Structure 1
Amino acid sequence: MSTQLRAGGAEVTIDQENGCRISSLRIDGTELLRQGDHYGSFPMVPWCGRTRDGQFQDGATLHQLPLNHPPHAIHGFGRDAAWRRARATATEAAFTYPLADPWPYEGLVTQIFELGENALTLTMGIETYGDSFPAQAGWHPWFRRNLTDGGSDVRIDFEAAWQEERGADHLPTGNRVDPKPGPWDDCFGMPYGVDVTLTWPDALELKVTSRSEWVVVYDEEPEAVCVEPQSGPPNGLNSLPQLVTPVDPLEISTTWTWRRLG
């Protein structure tokens, strides 16, 4: 089952049975996202990127997560779960996903999609049913490198305050370095908010923005590029835990705004 939103020349298809991912984003009939069950744009929750050895410490307790990307745990459980649709109109929809085993805490994730004629806003929140716990949330979109056969490659433009130094295990070392040229599978810090522009020459410009200060950029595959706003860096359950408490849920949002260039 899927949910479709439409506004102006934009069409969004949400596959709530397959991780509540955006399986399709079309602008004037042109598909922007890489197609396939594992692609589109999926939520990363209750953590983002890799968690070292699938382990994180909460107080005196060491938790072990399933190693779904050995030797690490990656991208959370939400992308593999069926979500429940809470409401939907022609341009807006909301879905929920209960946190449960093998995540060691009970809670609820809510994801909201709001489509306008020239923008899509995504919001995700995590609340606890009881104990406080560390968590992360974000999105992993796979944007097509080329929008048409023979089209020009997308250009990625951004200015980051720093780059998280990446170790051989693809996890941040804890050192911050000056941003380096790509190709990237790297996390960048933007303390004034994520602001990344994707430009397909003569076709479309799309800006990914968020009030969050963390973004992972991945462009090591020929088919697609990823710009991933998230609430903390990879391995952040250990290095920069953000607590979800009964009075302070975690919330993150991102807006994708597009402009036609043709």
Structure 2
Amino acid sequence: MSNEDITLTAGDAEVTVQPGNGGRVGGLRVGGVELLRQGERFGCFPMVPWCGRIRDGRFLDGAVGRQMPLNAPPNAIHGTARDGAWKVARVTADEAVITYDLVDPWPHSGRVTQVVSLAEDCLTLTMSVETYDSSFPAQVGWHPWFNRNLGGDSEDVRLDFTPAWQEERGADHLPTGRRIDPEPGPWDDCFGMPGGVDVTLTWPGRLELKVASREEWVVVYDEQEAAVCVEPQTGPPNGLNTHPRLVTPLEPLEATTTWSWTRL
């Protein structure tokens, strides 16, 4: 199949999947209202095989030091899969399955599979990384850009979540390793939610959307005027060094996030 945009529909919800643009969800419309910031770098992109920044682009892979390109100098950020074209494995009216084979500069072979599944009142994204070769550390996560304002005379979105802790952020925007009490925003910060990610975005009078995941890490970024980001992920920024999750031939790394909405 080609890697042209895919449109999924369920009820009055519509999702655009862009295999050719890094496997991202390019748009989510509910009742004709676009919830995601538009533009080729926005929507919601997959973060894989790592999330957020890697300090100096370097991580330990077993006993071997690895260097990733510094695409956010002096660090490497958000993985490699968002820069590549994904392949389409299967499409129905309300579900798309797309895959991406890890290539240089990532040092290991592996396959990423993302399932985008739409229902009338929710969108479920599932991503897995598997290998049939050597084991390696990895992370997966999502980086959605939700529109701060839905247009018309609507109010800006409000964020509501109750994390157990906040990762203290150093001057280099990376976690120091200390956990602190959650601080007020604006944020470009990682939070711990051991019971699972649970963040509610409310556009008053319009829509309430809940971002949920069984994972316990979420990065919240709301320092830009146009959008706010709520990013469920399998570990904190720089996690390839501090909280590595191993992908092995017997055990893939898999995560899911569900966004469910109700009209107000």
Q: Into which bin does the TM-score normalised by the smaller protein fall?
A: over 0.9
The alignment status of 1:25 with 2:32, answered yes or no, reads no
Quote the residue 2:117 is aligned against. 114
The letter of the residue matching 2:66 is H
Deviation at 1:60, TM superposition (A): 1.6
Displacement of 1:101: 1.2
Q: Which runs of 5+ in 2 are unaligned?
A: none
Whether the aligned pair in 2 keeps the contact of 1:85 and 1:95 (CA below 8 Å) is yes
Equivalent residue in structure 2 for 1:216, among 195, 209, 219? 219
AA partner of residue 131 (structure 1) = S
Match of 1:144 among 128, 134, 147: 147
Partners of 1:116 and 1:25 in 2: CA distance: 12
1:150 offset after TM fit, Å?
3.2
> Match for residue 39 of structure 2?
36
Matched residue SS, 2:240: helix
- 2:202 is matched with 199
Which among 160, 164, 171 is matched to residue 161 of structure 1? 164
Q: How do residues 39-78 of structure 1 correspond to structure 2 at under 5 angstroms? A: 39-78=42-81
1:129 Cα deviation from its structure 2 partner? 2.4
Shift of 1:236: 0.1
RMSD of aligned C-alpha atoms? Answer: 0.6
Whole-angstrom CA distance in 2 between matches of 1:77 and 1:248: 21
Q: Which residue of 1 aligns with 2:239?
A: 236
* 1:14 maps to 2:29: no
Structure 1 residue 58, shift from structure 2 partner: 1.5
Q: Give the paired residue count.
A: 261
- Residue 2 of structure 1 pairs with residue 5 of structure 2: yes
Secondary structure at 1:34's aligned position in 2? coil
Partner of 2:138: 135
1:11-65 Cα offsets, whole Å, 9 max, x none, are 0001110001111100000000001010000000000000000000112210000
Identity of aligned residues (%): 67
Q: Which amino acid aligns with 1:249?
A: P
Is the Cα–Cα contact under 8 Å of residues 108 and 129 in structure 1 kept in the other structure?
no
Distance in 2 between the 1:36 and 1:148 partners? 17
Paired AA for residue 230 in structure 1: Q
Letter of the structure 1 residue corresponding to residue 37 of structure 2: R
Following TM superposition, by how much is the alpha carbon of 1:141 offset from its aligned partner in structure 2, in angstroms? 0.2
Partner Cα separation in structure 2 for residue 260 and residue 100 of structure 1: 42
Consecutive unaligned residues in structure 1, runs of 5 or more: none
Provide the C-alpha distance between the structure 2 equivalents of 1:95 and 1:153, rounded to a whole number of angstroms: 33
- Separation (CA, whole Å) in 2 of partners of 1:246 and 1:124: 16
Amino acid at match of 2:54: T
Deviation of the 1:151 alpha carbon: 1.6
Give 1:149 shift: 3.5
Shift of 1:167: 0.3
Aligned to 2:175: 172
Counterparts of 2:92 and 2:62 in 1: how far apart (Å)? Answer: 43
Aligned mates of 1:18, 1:157 — CA distance in 2: 31
Residue aligning to 1:87: 90
Where does structure 1 differ by over 4 angstroms across 4 or more consecutive aligned residues? none
Residues 183-198 of structure 1 aligned to structure 2 (within 5 Å): 183-198=186-201
Structure 2 counterpart SS, 1:170: coil
- Greater Cα shift, 250-259 or 52-61: 52-61
Contact 1:218 1:225 in 2 (8 A): yes
Q: Distance in 2 between matches of 1:185 and 1:211?
A: 21
SS, match of residue 190 in structure 2: strand
1:101-159 CA deviation, whole Å, 9 max, x = no partner? 11000000000011000000000000012100000000000000000133201000000
